[in-house]
Every structure is written in C-alpha cells, then in structure tokens.
Amino acid sequence: MTSSVNSDILLGVKARGSLVRDLIGIAVIVVAAVIGYLLFPDNLALLTRILAIALLVLALDLVTGYCGVATLGHAALFGAGAYAAGILSAHYGINDPFLMTLAGLVGGAASGLLCGAIMLRAHGLPQLVLSIALIHLFHELANKMSSWTGGSDGLAGIAPDPVFGMFEFDLYGQTAYVFGVALLLIVFLSLRILVRSPFGMLSRGIRQDKLRVRAMGASPSSVLIRMYVISGAVAGLGGALNAISTQVVALDTLSFTQSAEALVMLVLGGTGSLFGALTGTLIFMLFEDYVSAANPFHWLTMVGALLIAVVLFAPKGIYGTAADYFALRRKAKP
C-alpha cells in the first residue's frame, strides 16, 4: 500500500522532472543550432545533414534502444523517405516542401511496416541477418528501378518551392537549416511524449522481459510493429529533409554503411535515451567531417578504434556515462 503511494508520488516528481528536462532539451537544441549557425555560417549544408542523420538515429533509438531490436538496416527507412519525397517532386511536380516532408513520413512509415513485419519473424542472429538482407534488397531495388530513382546516378531534378512562398531553398542553405531545426524540435518533443506514454513504457518492458509482458496480457509483436512504423515515419522525415536540402537523392542513402554508421552514432551517444542519440550524432558527424577532411585514409581505423573503446570503457555511451556520473555525484552530496 505505502509502496504504491510512494511510487505515485515518485511518478509525480518524475513527471515534473521530465517536463523540466523536455524544456532543457529544447533549449539545448535551439542553443546548439544557433551556435552552429554562428560558428559555421559557410557550412550550413553539413549542419543540415547532421539534422537529417539525427532524425535517423532517433528513429533507430526507438527500435534498438527502447525495444531492444538490433538492426543493421535502418537506413532502408531513411532512404525510403528520401526517395518518396524526391519522386514526388521530380516525377509528379509537387514541390511544396511540407507535402514532400509528408511524403517522406508516409514512405518511411510504409517501409517501416514492411521491414518490421519481416524482421520480427526471427530473433537474435537471424534477425540481424534479415535486417542486412533487407537493406541490400532495398539498395538493389533502387538501383534497378532507375527510371524512377535515377539508379546509381542519383535522383536529380528535385526543386522544392519556397517555404510559405517566401523563404527559398537557396545555395546558402539557410532556409533548409531552419526548416531542419524546426522539424527536429517537433519530432524531439513528440518522441519525448511518446517514450513517456504507457506505450513507450510497454516497449521498454518488452526489451527487459518479453515473456512477462506477454503474461501481463499485452502482445509484444503488435507493440513492436507499431513502434517500427513510428520509427519508420521519423526516419522517413529525416530522409525527406535530406532530399529537400540537398535537392538530390543518392543511392548511398540506402546503404549498409549508412545503417552501420547510424548504429555507431547511437551507441556512441548511448542507447535508450533521446539525448544520447542526439549527442552521438553530433559528435560523430563533426568528428567525421574533421578527420576525413584531414586524413580520409585513417577514418575507418579511427571509427573502429572508437567503437572498441566505447564498448570496453563506456558501454552506456557518452551521454549515459555522463548522466550516471552526475547522478552519482548528486547522490553523494545530498
């Protein structure tokens, strides 16, 4: 009895704490966006790409961090969103950026449903292999249907209209950057609400103990497939942002390497936390830009060494380790 009252109070405190953390998170994103704008005014394309990849990593976090499904094929959803947005503009002449974003969302969600339905049939290693097979299948398919996707040359001819008829997507990329920041903020807030909802709690429960969730009367597979669709929608938004900002969709967006890199970013930041996903993406992408510009030869070696180091010394990722450290310090001096 007392414990339930206690946990109610705790939940109340926790809810207030999370609201504060939501606001802090938004503030941090906005401040980081402004700092990025001021520091690299000539390199907004890179920053916009970081935003798009951040959406992909957030989407991956939903299935890997919250539901415990390991996948090496999440770029399939990202690429599906990118191609959906790109094809709408290049083949149907619908250039409204909001409609293109919506198309990305729908395309991503649809491929999320497809991938989820296939992936969730297996567990463990076969599941991982299925995800790899899926990303290769998507890649080959996009390569093959070159009349629709442009094949290995990439899909060109995307020309998004100005946002609200006023702000053009120009060479400087300011519009795309602001558009991307706004998109990321909306997605971030919605996901914060989602992971705190009973549905989000249930998916965390599935990661910890699937059997028990089933015994409680919930169906893990229906939760997982819904989560996959949501994740696909988020990844699709990222893809659409990428298509709109670069005005081209390369075949690379559907590659295994892209999927593996997204996973590396997620783990670097810390799984099971939206802040972790954002941290990991930012650090990885800036690091990649810096190192591969300085010495492209050693880029892969560095990533590999970084991964090994994270697994050995910071298994919770950068954000998770830092959060633990501060939590410990707070506990130490009450």
Partner 1 sequence: MQTVFSIAIDALAYGMVLFVISIGLSVTMGLMRVVNLAHGAFAMIGGYIASYVARDLGLGYSVAVIAAVVLTIIIAIPIERFLYRRIYGAPELTQVLMTIGITFCVIGIANYVMGPTLKTIPLAGPLQGAANLGFRSISVHRLFAIVCGLVVALGLWFAIERTSFGVKVRASVDDAAMASALGVRTEVIYAISFAIAVGLAAFGGVVGAELLPVEPYYALRYMVTFLVVVSVGGAGSIPGALAACLLLGAIDTTGRYLMPEFGEFFFYLAVIAIICVFPRGLAGRAK
Please give the Cα distance from 31 to 35 (Å, whole number).
6
Q: What is the contact mask toward partner 1 in residues 8 to 37, using x (rule: CB under 8 A)?
A: ------------------------------
Task: Choose the binding region for partner 1 from 48-56, 114-122, 242-250, 324-332 (rule: CB under 8 A).
Answer: 114-122
d(CA 254, CA 232): 13
Q: Which of 32, 46, 113, 137 binds partner 1 (CB under 8 A)?
A: 137
Q: How far is the CB of 70 from partner 1 (least distance, A)?
A: 5
CA geometry: angle 298, 282, 259, nearest 5 deg: 65
Please tell me whether residue 133 binds partner 1 under the rule CB under 8 A.
yes
Q: How far is the CB of 114 from partner 1 (least distance, A)?
A: 11
Asked if 1 interacts with partner 1 (CB under 8 A), we say no
163 forms bridges with which residues in the sheet? 167
The label of the residue with tokens 């429960």 reads: 205
Window 258-297: residues binding partner 1 (CB under 8 A): 260, 263-264, 267, 271, 297
Instruction: Return the ∠ at Cα 67 (arms to 61 and 69), rounded to 5°.
Output: 80
For position 307 contacting partner 1 by CB under 8 A, the verdict is: yes
126 binds partner 1 (CB under 8 A): yes
- Contact range with partner 1 by CB under 8 A, out of 26-34, 48-56, 121-129, 246-254: 121-129
Name the nearest CA neighbour of 183 among 90, 276, 56: 56
By CB under 8 A, residue 64 contacts partner 1: yes
Size of the site for partner 1 (CB under 8 A): 45
Helices (H), 93-164: 97-119, 125-144, 146-149
- Closest distance of CB 260 from partner 1, Å: 6
Among 10, 19, 30, 129, binds partner 1 (CB under 8 A): 129
Report the distance separating Cα 18 and Cα 186, nearest Å: 17
3-state secondary structure of 314: coil
Residue 188: exposure state from Cβ atoms within 10 A (0-12, 13-18, ≥19): buried
